[in-house]
């Protein structure tokens, strides 16, 4: 039985176990019933769950704005992944350098702290002016959203390395580069990954916003399209796709982290 | 026994300065450490003996005084001095083997060679079969064994041990005391061992230097060469010395 591996379930009575596993399903069913009731009342334009589900399947065979559904999903994923890769490639070394080197920190931290609170969307006018309304501009906006948490977490991770780790390094003769790559980086990997996870969440928000503002493709465009054409099913399908993709991303990063940090495996 | 002095601390004082006032941790401590002896620094908790050990290791600078190793003054850390930390300080992202290797790794010893040395010391501390375990999977006693193997593998002349068994439960502590003597008799090095436990001090030491409460000053020195090894916790002579030391100890209010 499955409960055998679950420590929460040990020494629990049978009714408790049933309640534990049944209640989330009940909540989901209640949600669907509520949705169905609201949709069937006819006072809103909300499609029923069944209609939404049907649309979810048929949408893959049709086209939106002359492109198949898969193209829109691909465009959104490509935008967020491009922005993420650039931000990780630049942001992690930048954050680590800020935590590691006092001079570097003294020079860059004030500027960084001023830029940090500016919401990514606020950059739209500037970026549109500089880079036009094309793909580059959109990716820059997304970078503004994902770059900050990655830098902040890498920086915090490095400054939080326990003092004893440095003492051990010193006693056993670690040179500066040993200390950085063999001690500081592995010590702060956890925080760096936490930053990337936060960045992915925030990243989706910015992707959507940038696609809603000015784009002919992407999931954000689908949702906007659904809104403009009174096609709520399309908007709901878009929302559902974001949920699925978000979960896929979260699992992907967990998988990556477990691969990179074998010492944290049970 | 060889009487050659290997390390000498002379007139060491340490004051920590802070905005809330200065704190004297060590006051004019001088001591000699003889080659291959097991020297115990004994004192009440928080008395400053750990600070002294950190000064010898080069992790903390003394306010005044000098440390000489083989007659030459030293500053900073030194490849001839290794450290066993109370909280083990193992790198959790490295396996037991990789942890033991770090001293040699940072010296630039090729991988194959340092693996061989690390293997030898892991076996010496009784951890054969745990080479690829991460610290998270090891018990407290096993972690400290890795810490001891790591210090040995760096091939130092002097091993500093800062209350290495302080965080262990009583039973593990006794077995580790026996274990450290066994290791030391097989691979004899100079050991400076800090503890606040009188029984542990009498069980382990060739010599005990007793410190006062903070600021730490040398209070008394005991030569235990009259006690043969292995020692017995309930031997009358053992108990006599233990009582003598304990009568001299000030009770620390922690």
| Mean per-residue pLDDT, B180-196 | 93
Q: If DSSP codes are grouped into helix, strand and coil, which group holds residue B230? A: coil
Q: What is the structure's pLDDT at A19? A: 85
**DSSP per residue, B28-96:** EEEEEEETT-EEEEE--TTSSHHHHHHHHHTSS--SEEEEEETTEE--S--TTEEEE-TT----TTS-H
Q: What is the structure's pLDDT at B96? A: 95
Strand partners, B223: B207
Q: What is the structure's pLDDT at A154? A: 94
Classify domain A57-264 at the CATH topology level.
MetI-like fold (1.10.3720)
Kindly tell me if the per-residue pLDDT of B156 is higher than 50.
yes
State the nearest Cα–Cα gap between A161 and chain B, in angstroms.
11
* Domain residue ranges in chain B: 1-80+158-254, 90-155
Kindly tell me if the per-residue pLDDT of B145 is higher than 90.
yes
**Radius of gyration of chain B from Cα atoms?**
18
Cβ–Cβ below 8 Å for B58 and A170: yes
Kindly tell me if the per-residue pLDDT of B118 is higher than 90.
yes
How is the beta sheet containing B72-73 ordered, strand by strand?
B23-34, B5-16, B64-69, B72-73
Cα(A106)–Cα(A209) distance, integer angstroms: 34
State the nearest Cα–Cα gap between A59 and chain B, in angstroms.
47
| Mean per-residue pLDDT, B157-164 | 94
Contact A34, A218 (CB under 8 A): no
Cβ–Cβ below 8 Å for A262 and B134: yes
Q: For residue A257, give the nearest of A203, A201, A190, A161 by alpha carbon.
A: A190
Question: Would you place residue B251 in the very low, low, confident or very high pLDDT band (cuts 50, 70, 90)?
Answer: low
A-chain CB neighbours of B96 within 8 Å are none
Q: What is the structure's pLDDT at A227? A: 86
B-chain CB neighbours of A264 within 8 Å are 136
**Which is higher by pLDDT, A120 or B159?**
B159
Q: What is the structure's pLDDT at A2? A: 42
Tell me the per-residue pLDDT of B53-63, one tens digit each, with 9 for 90 and over: 999 999 999 99
Cα(B82)–Cα(B240) distance, integer angstroms: 33
ipTM: 0.91
Kindly tell me if the per-residue pLDDT of B201 is higher than 80.
yes
Q: For residue A13, what are its two tokens?
A: 């009575």
Question: Would you place residue B2 in the very low, low, confident or very high pLDDT band (cuts 50, 70, 90)?
Answer: low
Kindly tell me if the per-residue pLDDT of B254 is higher than 60.
no
Question: Would you place residue B230 in the very low, low, confident or very high pLDDT band (cuts 50, 70, 90)?
Answer: confident
pLDDT, mean of each 10-residue run, chain A (266 residues): 56 82 90 89 82 83 81 92 95 94 92 89 88 86 92 93 94 93 93 91 87 84 88 86 88 88 79
The strand pair at B158-162 and B81-84 is best described as parallel
Q: What is the structure's pLDDT at A231? A: 83
Question: Would you place residue B122 in the very low, low, confident or very high pLDDT band (cuts 50, 70, 90)?
Answer: very high
B-chain CB neighbours of A262 within 8 Å are 134
Average pLDDT, chain B: 91
Kindly tell me if the per-residue pLDDT of B1 is higher than 80.
no
Exposure string (b/e) for B102-123, b if CB count within 10 Å is 16 or more? bbbbbeebeeeebbebbbebbe
* Domain residue ranges in chain A: 2-44, 57-264
CB pairs under 8 A between A and B: 60
CA distances from residue B65 to B13, B27, B30, B35, B212 in whole angstroms, order as listed = 6, 10, 9, 21, 19
Contact B208, B54 (CB under 8 A): no
Classify domain B1-80+158-254 at the CATH topology level.
Rossmann fold (3.40.50)
Q: Is B140 on the interface with A (CB under 8 A)?
A: no
Q: What is the structure's pLDDT at A1? A: 41
Q: What is the structure's pLDDT at A263? A: 87
Cβ–Cβ below 8 Å for B93 and A167: no
Q: Is B87 on the interface with A (CB under 8 A)?
A: yes
């Amino acid at each position: 039985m499955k409960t055998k591996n679950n420590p929460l379930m040990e020494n629990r009575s049978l009714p408790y176990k049933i309640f534990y596993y049944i209640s989330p399903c009940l909540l989901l069913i209640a949600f669907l019933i509520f949705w169905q009731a609201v949709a069937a009342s006819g006072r809103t334009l909300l499609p029923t769950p069944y209609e939404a589900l049907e649309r979810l399947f048929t949408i893959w065979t049709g086209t939106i704005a002359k492109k198949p559904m898969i193209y829109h999903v691909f465009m959104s994923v490509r935008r967020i992944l491009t922005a993420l890769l650039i931000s990780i490639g630049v942001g992690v070394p930048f954050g680590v350098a800020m935590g590691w080197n006092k001079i570097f920190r003294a020079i860059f931290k004030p500027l960084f702290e001023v830029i940090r609170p500016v919401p990514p969307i606020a950059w739209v006018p500037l970026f549109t002016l500089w880079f036009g309304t094309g793909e580059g501009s959109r990716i820059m906006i997304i970078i503004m959203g994902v770059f900050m948490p990655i830098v902040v977490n890498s920086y915090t991770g490095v400054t939080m390395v326990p003092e004893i780790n440095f003492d051990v390094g010193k006693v056993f003769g670690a040179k500066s580069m040993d200390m950085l790559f063999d001690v500081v980086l592995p010590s702060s990997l956890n925080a760096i990954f936490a930053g990337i996870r936060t960045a992915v969440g925030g990243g989706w928000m910015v992707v959507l916003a940038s696609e809603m503002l000015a784009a002919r493709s992407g999931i954000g465009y689908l949702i906007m399209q659904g809104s403009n054409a009174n096609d709520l099913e399309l908007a709901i399908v878009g929302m559902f796709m974001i949920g699925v993709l978000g979960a896929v991303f979260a699992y992907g990063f967990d998988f990556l982290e477990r691969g990179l940090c074998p010492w944290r495996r049970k | 026994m060889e009487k050659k002095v290997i390390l000498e601390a002379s007139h060491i004082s340490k004051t920590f300065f802070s905005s809330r006032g200065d704190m004297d941790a060590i006051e004019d401590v001088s001591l000699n450490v003889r080659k291959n002896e097991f020297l115990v620094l004994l004192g009440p908790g928080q008395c400053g003996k750990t600070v002294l050990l950190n000064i010898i290791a080069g992790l903390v600078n003394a306010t005044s005084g000098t440390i000489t190793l083989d007659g030459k003054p030293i500053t900073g850390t030194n490849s001839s001095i290794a450290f066993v930390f109370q909280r083990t300080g193992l790198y959790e992202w490295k396996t037991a083997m990789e942890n033991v290797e770090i001293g040699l790794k940072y010296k630039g010893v090729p991988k194959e060679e340092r693996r061989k040395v690390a293997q030898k010391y892991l076996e010496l501390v009784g951890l054969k079969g745990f080479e690829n375990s991460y610290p998270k999977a090891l018990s407290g006693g096993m972690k400290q064994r890795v810490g001891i193997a790591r210090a040995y593998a760096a091939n130092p002349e002097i091993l500093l041990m800062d209350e290495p068994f302080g965080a262990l439960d009583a039973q593990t502590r006794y077995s580790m005391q026996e274990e450290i003597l066994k290791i030391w008799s097989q691979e004899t090095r100079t050991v400076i061992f800090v503890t606040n436990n009188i029984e542990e001090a009498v069980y382990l030491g060739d010599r005990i230097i007793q410190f006062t409460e903070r600021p730490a000053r040398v209070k008394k020195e005991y030569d235990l060469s009259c006690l043969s090894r292995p020692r017995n916790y309930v031997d009358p002579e053992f108990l006599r010395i233990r009582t003598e030391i304990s009568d001299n100890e000030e009770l620390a209010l922690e």
